[in-house]
Amino acid sequence: MDLNMTRLLPFALLVLLIACSSTSGSDPEHPIAADKSTGQSVFNMNCSLCHGRDGKLGLNGAKDLTASTLSKAEMLAIVRSGKGAMMPYKDVLTAKEIDAVVEHVRTLGKPK
């Protein structure tokens, strides 16, 4: 068992969190852990500005995400490369974060 690695990982995550929160004002109380919460926190930090936390805000012509009929692949492409007033996120988020945030978007239209 590599003890060093298991001790270093939470520390590395903490550093990452601090680095993120200083630039984007993220919520340090919601650590990046499981994919589900990653998708939600990535969305709240990067997307809710235009789309709203529930996906319905539609600021500056942003689409109501709860009404989107796009496939997952089409959403991934838009988030990676941007569309219209929406910026590309491929240099901002990791592929994993983009996947997680699209998964989150796809839950928005579904009844809870």
Interacting residues with ligand HEC (CB under 6 A): 46-47, 49-51, 60-63, 65, 68, 70, 75, 78-79, 83-86, 89, 101, 105
Q: How far is the CB of 100 from ligand HEC (least distance, A)?
A: 10
Output 22 or 81, the one with its CB closest to ligand HEC. 81
- If you search the block for the tokens 């012509």, which residue do you land on? 61
Q: How far is the CB of 91 from ligand HEC (least distance, A)?
A: 12
- For the beta carbon of residue 99, count every other beta carbon within 10 angstroms: 17
32, 21 Cβ separation under 8 angstroms: no
Q: How far is Cα 112 from Cα 82, in angstroms, rounded to an integer?
A: 28
Output 21 or 68, the one with its CB closest to ligand HEC. 68
Output 10 or 82, the one with its CB closest to ligand HEC. 82
Query: In what helix (H) or strand (E) does residue 61 lie, and over which residues does it extend?
Result: none
Q: Which amino acid is residue 29, in one-letter code? A: E
